[in-house]
Amino acid sequence: MNGIVRPYRRAAAAPVSWFQFATRHRASIASLAVLIFPLVMPFTALAVNILIYGLYALGFNLVYGYLGLLSFGHAALFGTGAYVCGIAIVHFGLPWYAAIALGIAGGLLMAAMIGVLAIRTRGIYFAMVTMALSQCVYYLFYQAVDWTGGENGLRGINVRDIDILGVRLDFINPLTRYYVVAAFVIAAFFVLSRILASPFGAAIEAVRENESRARASGYDVRLTRLMTFVLSGGFCGLAGALQALHLSIVPIEILYYDTSGIVVMIALLGGMGTFFGPMVGAAAFLLLENLVSVWTVHWQLFVGAIFMICVLFFPAGIWGTLISRGKR
């Protein structure tokens, strides 16, 4: 015995890496980023657009990134949410919060209708079928001129003052509008995080990883797919409703397949199957578009080229690549 008493040392907590810290608090971190965002963007309306497209991509990511099904028809869900919200305000004079709720419902319903038809198909077929079905929705909304304004779009979604818990906010003020939209997006973050962490979230992953095994384990594969698609519709519908309120119009182009294509690009650019990826992708895409448009009218060339480069060399997207670096 040499008389030195070693003090009892508690087993040191395992050092927490950036990655684990971020994953545990992902919703909170995303929310923090959202709060300081407008201060670093060229103009606030762009920041709002980024939030909205980020949410749209978040919904899309549920189906593509987490479930593994490539849909080229998500514009139908986004657009339906927008139109239902707009119609509720313009034609029925409903208050803004009811309109948003109806927009979400519209997204859910449209997703159910498209989903029931499309879920019968798989893989690449799914992409084509969703694209064609959403084109159908486009033409139908186009024809319903009395409700949607047709080619002229739906105008008059003018929300001025909104009352939240007794506080009157001026919705016309750009920053106020941003934070109201941000509140909804943050709520969506939390809801999505809960869903993914739940047993249903595990089911989604199981179906993506190995369908036959999932089926053998007792998961109803078809129902899981449909439910995921419908949930995705809810998120996209909310994004659409917020878009309608933000721009005070709903353009018919929102239902065209270009809008479906944009969300695919955003999701890939950001990183599919990751939580922050869609937001990062939306920010990257819209900022890029904004920046490049200032230099040249040929911004589509650059956006398309960058997208191809991502597909070839960075399939995990910006955020996905950063994460895999961070994991190492």
Partner 1 sequence: MAGLSLDLIALQLFAGLALGAIYVLFAIGLSLIFGMLTVVNFAHGAFYMVGAYVGLYMLSLGGNFWLCLIGVPLAVGLFGLAVERVLIRPLYGRSIDYPLLLTFGLSYVMVELVRIVFGKTGYPFDTPEILQGAVNIGVGYFPLYRLFVIGAAAAVLLALWLFLEKTSFGLIIRAGARDPQIVRVLGVDVSKVWLIVFGIGTGIAGFAGLLAAPLQGASPEMGGTILAEAFVVTVVGGMGSIGGAVLAGLLVGVVVSMTSLFAPEMAKVSIFALMALVLIVRPQGFFGRAGLMS
Partner 2 sequence: MTEGKSMRKSGSISRRRLLTTVGAAVLAASPFRINLLQAEEASIKIGFPVPLTGPYGTEAQDQVRAAGLAVAQFNDAGGLDGRKAELVVRDDKLNPGEAATRTLELVEKEKVSFVVGSLSAAVQLAINNVTKERGVIFNSISQSDAINEAADFSKYTFHEALNPHITSGAVGRYAFPKFGKKVVFLTADYAYGHEMVRGFLEVGKAFDIENLADIRHPIGTTDYSTLLPRIQALKPDILCICNFGRDQQISLKQATDFGLKQTTQIIAPLLSHASRVAAGPQAFEGVIGGCSFYWGIEDKFASTKAFNDAFRKMYDGRLPSDYGALGYGGVRTVLAAVRNAGSVDTDKVVAALEALKYDFYKGPQYYRKCDHQSVQSVMIIKSKSKDMRNESDVFEVISTEEPDEANLRGCAELGHKV
Q: Which CA distances in Å does 105 have to 101, 110, 156, 233? A: 6, 9, 21, 9
Q: Among residues 52, 111, 57, which one has the least CA distance to residue 245?
A: 52
**Residue 251 interface partner, choices partner 1, partner 2, none, CB cut-off 5-8 Å depending on type:** partner 2
Per DSSP, the residues of 232-283 read HHHHHHHHHHHHHHHHSEE-GGGGSHHHHHHHHHHHHHH-TTSSSHHHHHHH
The two structure tokens encoding residue 205:
């992953």
Check binding of 75 to partner 1 (CB under 8 A): no
Distance CA 52, CA 237 (A): 11
Residues making up the chain, counted from first to last: 328
Q: Which residue lies nearer to partner 1 by CB, 49 or 260?
A: 260
Among 42, 156, 304, 326, binds partner 1 (CB under 8 A): 304
Two structure tokens written together for 204: 């989604």
Q: In this structure, what DSSP letter does residue 154 have? A: E
Which residues from 96-115 bind partner 1, rule CB under 8 A?
none
**58: nearest Cα among 50, 318, 38:** 50
Choose, by CB under 8 A, the member of 257, 275, 285, 319 that binds partner 1.
257
The closest alpha carbon to 233, from 69, 60, 52, belongs to 60
Q: Which does residue 195 touch among partner 2, partner 1, none (CB within 5 to 8 A, set by kind)?
A: none
Cβ distance 150 to 251 under 8 Å? Answer: no
Is 264 a binding residue for partner 1 by CB under 8 A? The answer is yes
The one segment of 164-172, 185-193, 227-235, 297-305 that binds partner 1 by CB under 8 A = 297-305
Instruction: Give me the least distance between CB of 173 and partner 1, in Å please.
Output: 36
Work out whether 132 is an interface residue with partner 1 (CB under 8 A).
yes
Phi and psi (nearest 5°) for 155?
A: -110, 170
Closest distance of CB 139 from partner 2, Å: 8
Interaction partner, residue 160 (partner 1, partner 2, none; CB < 5-8 Å by kind): partner 2
For residues 45 and 86, give the distance between their C-alpha atoms in angstroms, rounded to a whole number: 19
- Per CB under 8 A, residues contacting partner 2 are 12, 15-18, 21, 39-46, 49, 139, 142, 145, 150-153, 155-158, 160, 172, 174, 243, 247-249, 251-254, 293, 297-300
- Told to check if 76 binds partner 1 by CB under 8 A, we report no
The correct pick among 311, 325, 326, 327 for binding partner 1 (CB under 8 A) is: 311
Q: Is 303 in the site for partner 1 (CB under 8 A)?
A: yes
Beta bridge partners of 163: 168
Nearer to partner 2, 147 or 200 (CB): 147
Does position 316 interact with partner 1 (CB under 8 A)? The reply is no
By the rule CB under 8 A, 144 interacts with partner 1: no
SS3 169: strand
Residue 166 binding target from partner 2, partner 1, none, CB below 5 to 8 Å by type: none
- List interacting residues with partner 1 (CB under 8 A): 70, 117-118, 120-125, 127-129, 131-133, 135-136, 139-140, 143, 211, 257, 261, 264-265, 268, 298, 300-301, 303-305, 307-308, 311-312, 315
